[in-house]
Amino acid sequence: MTDEQTGVEETKRGRVRRLFCDPMDELGFRRPRRMDDETFRAKQTRMVDALTYMSDDGLRTLFDFMKSKGQGKQRDQWPPRAMIYAYAELIEPCPIEKIPSMLSWFRSSAGARAAEDDTLVETFEFIQKYKKPPTMDGAQAAIRRQAEERRRNISMARSRVDRGVAMPDDEQLLAWHADRIAVVKSIMKPADAEERR
């Protein structure tokens, strides 16, 4: 009996298993030969938890990518988690909001400095893409240049809107930027008690 038939709501883990793990198992994928069942189950549970952020389509695409990546002599052993995570990130990057260390960075003095420097959006985009803070001077310089260019574009767009001579993309740019700022500022606030449960 399916969850739909019993009226039971599917869990996030259940969805990942249904759309990714079960199809892999049905193809004949099995645990790596040198790994015992208990270790394999624990690692697979951690993998499932790490993939819960993905959409249904993303999980189906991940299956399509991974079904040809079997390991071992018979190519029927599960691929390493690192490989699965790398393909998942290519298909559908994990949101920063789902990565505790990235949240912690934004909530630290480094996040406050990015807000002070007016580079929050650009810093967010860098971290979203590379999944690491911009610690190298070159990365920080590139972020500052992008922020300066974006500020100039926003200023011109706002001026045209105010004068009633807006170009087609001006209002869209202003709305997008305001939304990005709101998203980043929301993740800079520590989770409330409800979110921590």
| Residue range 97-145, pLDDT digits in tens | 888 888 888 888 888 899 899 999 999 999 888 888 888 888 999 999 9
With bands split at pLDDT 50, 70 and 90, how would you rate the model's confidence at 61? Answer: very high
Instruction: Find out whether 18 and 52 touch, Cβ atoms under 8 Å.
Output: no
- Residue 49's region, left for phi above 0, alpha for psi from -120 to 50, else beta, is alpha
Please name which of 150, 100, 98, 84 lies closest in space to residue 123, comparing C-alpha atoms: 150
Please name which of 64, 56, 55 lies closest in space to residue 84, comparing C-alpha atoms: 64
- Per the document, the length of the chain is 197
| Residue range 20-49, pLDDT digits in tens | 999 999 999 998 888 899 999 999 999 999
Return the pLDDT at 191. 53
**Tokens 């930027």 map to which residue?**
177
Is the pLDDT score of 1 beyond 60? no
Question: By percentage, how much of the chain surpasses pLDDT 90?
Answer: 57
Q: What are phi and psi of 162, to 5 degrees?
A: -60, -35
Amino acid at 55: S
